[in-house]
Structure 1
Amino acid sequence: MPQDQQDRTIVNTDQLVDVDEATRRRAAGALFLDVRRRDKGGPVPPVDGAVVLDKARAAELLDPSSPELLPELEDAQDTEIVVFCNSEFGSDPVVGKLNEFGYRRVSHIDGGYRAWEATLRQG
């Protein structure tokens, strides 16, 4: 585990899904929310069809009453949503915000994008 994650805790563990389950949900039409940071200087490979969300603005972009609500989330309280960051530590706070705003079908990927990418490479 990277040093910066050793003292962090995942709150929404019951909403973690493995890569295979995330893949099934994606194939069934789930909305994928990509919350990986893009300000660290390195390239962030795109995930086809994923909606990019700036975690720093999660409160206003996820709040159904906000004029800045992501268009993909309008009337989406019952939409299947899969959140991913580089690891579950990054996606967990966003999952918490979605829960807080009443979204009912939210999950995040155990191991995050790193696990997703590793599975894709294994083919």
Structure 2
Amino acid sequence: MSAGAVPPGGAVARLLERRRARLVRLAPREAARARDEGAVLVDIRPQADRAAEGAIPGALVVERNVLEWRLDPTSPDRLPGPAGSADTRVVLFCNEGYASSLAAADLLDLGRPGATDMVGGFRAWAAEGLPVVPPGA
């Protein structure tokens, strides 16, 4: 499956299309620019993926299973500082940009109007030659 493509068939593909229709998704270089302008890049990949493939320098790690609690601006369990603020733009990424699309739409529902995700995820970022902290570093 190519990075950023909708997987064929099934209810989950239709759900993904509906969720993505609500997002202004960013290509990797656009995500880097957004970060330079104050957006927070949020890595929702499991630790095993980060250990195997590396990470984006400066990205905030919030694994998918706790994302809504940490980034809900009204949650008592939200992250402190800009990441927990509804006013801060957040750009989520996963491996290839599927789970991050679903998660970003959830954040819109929680009152994060600047939430979106990165087309192609971490793998597209790395393929673009953008900075990556190598595995084990």
Normalising by structure 1, we get a TM-score of: 0.81
1:44 is displaced (CA, Å) by: 4.3
From 79, 82, 85, give the equivalent of 2:88: 79
Cα pair distance change 1:44/1:68, threshold 3 Å: farther
Q: 1:26 aligns with which of 30, 35, 40?
A: 35
Separation of aligned partners in 2, 1:21 and 1:44: 21
Which sections of structure 1, spanning at least 5 residues, go unmatched? none
Give how far 1:63 is off: 2.1
- Residues 24-103 of structure 1 mapped to structure 2, 5 A cutoff: 24-39=33-48, 43-72=52-81, 73-74=83-84, 76-103=85-112
1:105/1:59 CA distance change after superposition, 3 Å: closer
Q: Distance in 2 between matches of 1:109 and 1:40?
A: 17
Q: Is the 8 A contact 1:58 1:97 kept in 2?
A: no
1:59, CA displacement in angstroms?
A: 2.8
Moved more, 58-67 or 102-111: 58-67
Structure 1 CA distance, aligned partners of 2:50 and 2:107? 28
Deviations 1:28-76 (A, max 9, x none): 12101100122469524122111101111223222223221122433x2
Report the secondary structure of 1:87's partner residue. Answer: coil
Is 1:118 aligned to residue 123 of structure 2? Answer: no
Q: Is the 8 A contact 2:73 2:112 kept in 1?
A: no
Alignment-derived partner of residue 133 in structure 2: none
Contact 1:62 1:97 in 2 (8 A): no
In the alignment, structure 2 segments of 5+ residues that lack a partner are: 131-137
Judge conservation of contact 1:38–1:44 (CA < 8 Å) in 2: no
Q: Which segment is superposed worse, 103-112 or 43-52?
A: 43-52
- Equivalent pair of 2:28/2:128 in contact (CA under 8 Å): yes
Q: Give the alignment's TM-score, normalised by structure 2.
A: 0.74
Equivalent residues, number: 118
| Structure 2 residue identity aligned to 1:120 | G
Aligned AA for 1:114?
Answer: R
Could you tell me how far apart the structure 1 residues matched to 2:28 and 2:118 are? Answer: 6
Deviation at residue 99 of structure 1 after TM alignment: 0.5
